[in-house]
Amino acid sequence: MFEKLEAVEKRYEELTKLISDSEIIANQTEWQKYMKEHAGIEDIVIKFREYKKTKQSMLDAEELMEDPEMKELAELEYYEAKEKLPKLEEELKILLIPKDKDDDKNIICEIRAGAGGEEAALFAGTLFRMYTMYAEKKHWKLDILNENSTGLGGYKEVSFMITGKGVYSRLKFESGVHRVQRVPDTESSGRIHTSTATVAVLPVVEDVEIEINPADIRMEVFRASGAGGQHVNKTSSAVRLIHEPTGIIAECQTERSQLQNREYAMRLLKSRIYDQEKQKQDAELASERKSQVGSGDRSEKIRTYNYPQGRITDHRIGLSIYQMEDFLNGNLDEMIDSLTAADRAEKLKGN
């Protein structure tokens, strides 16, 4: 570990010189690349330097303990530093875990009603509201890209983009099958129904990260429509894009302009293609190291929302939270922090 840390510190010093070089500064693309790399390892270097300083303090204090006049003060400094070192080592191990390169990205989230008919559509609407409220609490921006709503206020499917700092890092573990157990309003006998909705969280990708041949994309236009045929456009402004090599489809009909809908659909299409590739890579990694917390398998049942018990259980880490209303009002941090910690612990084992 310490050889790796020495190499990181050396690279940090090289980058510090590079970002101060006037020739590099003149080339903004190159300068920004180095700045990003510099910022990405700065926390590791600061912590490593603190570790080295603490270790040196311990060694100096050990020497001073030979002096009878300094012994008492030196002992205090020695044991203080000795106690601090294991904590700093642990923090360094965590900082050395390779970061998910997508963590700082914005996301496109897709929620689809699964098994359970209208009740599943209503649950999809509940999840959409939950993520909307979480985004508001984080001061993130949310834009609806596509929606297929039902007459009772649910969604057969809804796609939306969330823009903000570290969005993917906070929401990436939400991908999978969410299950609800509750008595529907339409159920006169009070029988508990089980329904599902699937959530997919896709990182928004830049053009430089994924290349798509325009000749591979077929565009179709159609008239946008709302629930029950309401708000039907008189012009064909809705856009559907089909990526023929993969068969991946993306559509958008929320904007009145065909140009805006095409732009949103293209973002969605790129994210879906990128995500397909990412899932393949995640599957390869999973075969090497079975991870407790996954963000790849969309068919995995990850969470149950049990209304009669007021309980939300995440099956990957076995955590139950008994604050249903609070959770559905967007207070997700306890669950997300626990999932992040479990993922980090799993990665530490693999290092």
Mean pLDDT lowest among 78-87, 205-214, 330-339:
205-214
CA 172/CA 167 separation, integer angstroms: 8
Q: Is the pTM of this model over 0.85?
A: no
pLDDT of 77 higher than 90: yes
Q: How confident is the model at residue 310 (pLDDT cuts 50, 70, 90)?
A: very high
Torsion angles phi and psi, residue 264, rounded to 5: -65, -40
* Percentage of the chain modeled with pLDDT above 70: 87
CA 218/CA 221 separation, integer angstroms: 10
pLDDT of 228 higher than 70: no
**Residue 221 bridge partners (DSSP):** 239
CA 332/CA 231 separation, integer angstroms: 34
CA of residue 162 relative to chain centroid, distance:
11
Are 161 and 145 a contacting pair, CB within 8 Å? yes
Q: Which domains does the chain possess? A: 2-96 (no CATH), 107-350 (3.30.70.1660)
pLDDT of res. 231: 45
Work out the average pLDDT over 244-266: 81
Burial class (CB in 10 A: 0-12, 13-18, 19+), 121: buried
Residue given tokens 């302009």 in the structure block: 257
